Amino acid sequence: MNYRHAFHAGNFADLVKHAALTLLLEAMTADPAPLSVIDTHAGAGLYDLGDDMAKKSGEAAVGIARLIAAPDAPRAFDALKAAVAEANPEGGLRLYPGSPALIGRALRKADRYIACEIRDDDVALLRQTLAPYPGAQAVQADGFATAVERMPAIGRVLVLIDPPFERADDYANIAATMAAVRARNPAAAVAAWLPLKDLETFDAFLRSLEPAGAGALVAEARLKPLTDPMKMNGCAMVIAGAPASLEAPLQAACDWVVARLGSQGGKARLWRLA
Ligand SMILES: C[S@@+](CC[C@H](N)C(=O)[O-])C[C@H]1O[C@@H](n2cnc3c(N)ncnc32)[C@H](O)[C@@H]1O
């Protein structure tokens, strides 16, 4: 449990994940029926990019800072940019909204949100982040188990799975959770974030999704060729139950991240699992 998302907040991987998340929220709240959201690995919710952790990594400077300054960012990033502007009413880029802040601001009166976080320090910050949203609840518990236990059997549900990949069983836990929640509610949208290191690991993970993941949307942002398995060479979102309306804007988001934040040999790819 050493992982702190504060080192990575606003990096290229957050941009891909948060574009996908906000596009899903936009699509799912276009329907007036209430929405339930479960965030298995929520983190602190809001990150101070001026603190030592963020400054040490410098990842936001080559992520969200470049996006905010870009004249050519696609509309897929509009909601994220609006959330950044709301978090920084004085202007500038001091605070970066994580998934809890992005979900919180999208909630309507009848919507419900369960945010799971295991660390004492981050769950305390998460409670502060969620305080303005009456439909939101922070839970200090394992997110994989909580998603299955608290999964509504009916109604519209979005599950975000975003583990730190510190443990070798995170891949297996994602696949098992996706299968279990889709078995309980086949209409649920389940979005998982993954690092792209080498193709073998990613392909094995995708195979492990069968059959629950059939038809899932896979959005890959490879910043460079996947030749060094020790490095995070890119990232992917795998989204079961993704609406077709997500495809074009998410492709545009991945294209932008690869073109503007990647290096030679990078590649963006969007496709569906058979
Ligand atoms: C990648 S970060 C989450 C970032 C967040 N989803 C966002 O987009 O802003 C992963 C978080 O999961 C937490 N965590 C690790 N194991 C967990 C578990 N079993 N259940 C819930 N949270 C866990 C870590 O402490 C960390 O804050």
pLDDT digits (tens, 9 = 90+) for 257-272: 999 999 999 999 999 9
Query: Closest residue (by CA) to atom 26 of ligand 1?
Result: 43
Q: What is the mean pLDDT of residues 12-16?
A: 98
> If pLDDT is split at 50, 70 and 90, which confidence band does 71 have?
very high
pTM for this one? 0.98
Cis peptide before 97 (omega within 30 of 0): no
Rounded distance from Cα 251 to ligand 1 centre (Å): 26
Tell me what percent of the residues of the chain surpass a pLDDT of 70: 100
Q: What is the pLDDT of residue 1?
A: 72
Domain boundaries, the chain: 12-44+99-272
Q: What is the mean pLDDT of residues 1-9?
A: 92
Query: Closest residue (by CA) to atom 19 of ligand 1?
Result: 142
Tell me which CATH code domain 12-44+99-272 carries.
3.40.50.150
pLDDT digits (tens, 9 = 90+) for 130-143: 999 999 999 999 99
Rounded distance from Cα 45 to ligand 1 centre (Å): 10
Query: Pick from 139, 185, 183, 140: which is nearest to 158 by CA?
Result: 185
Q: Which atom of ligand 1 is nearest to the CA of 44?
A: 27
> If pLDDT is split at 50, 70 and 90, which confidence band does 58 have?
very high
